[in-house]
Structure 1
Amino acid sequence: MSASFPSQANAIPSAPVRPALPKDARGALAKNVEDALQALPIHFKTNTNIEGIEAGDLFSLSGVLGGTIEIQTVETLNRLRPVWDPDDLWPDYGFERSSQAYPDVRLVTRSSGKEPIVLGIELKGWYLLSKEEEPSYRYVATKEASSPYDLICVVPWHLNNILSGVPKVLPPYIENARFAADMRTYYWTQLRGKTAEDRRIITPQGVSPYPSSKKQSSDTAAKDSGNFGRIARVPGLMKEYSKGMLETRILGIQARHWIRFFKAYSDAASMEEVEQKLRKLIEQNSGSNLSENSTLAAQKLFEIRDLLA
Structure 2
Amino acid sequence: MTRFASEDAEDADDAEDADWFLTAIASSSSARAAPTVDDARAIARAARGATRASKALEARAQGVVAAALVAKRRERDARFELCERRERDLRSMQERIRADVGRFEAFVRENEVKRVSALRREREEARANELRDERLREMRSESKSRAEASRALDKDVERARVFETFLARVATAATNGDAFEDIADVLGRHDTLRRTRDSLRASVDESHSRVECTRAAHERTIKHMEEERLMATASIARLRQRDEDLRRENGRLRQEMAYRSRSTADRTRILAEAKMAVRNLVRRCATNDPAPAHDRRELDFVEERARVLRQIAGSNVCASVKS
TM-score class, shorter:
under 0.3
User: Per residue, is there more strand in 1 or in 2?
Assistant: 1
Normalized against structure 1, the TM-score is what? Answer: 0.16
TM-score by length of 2: 0.16
Which is richer in helix?
Answer: 2
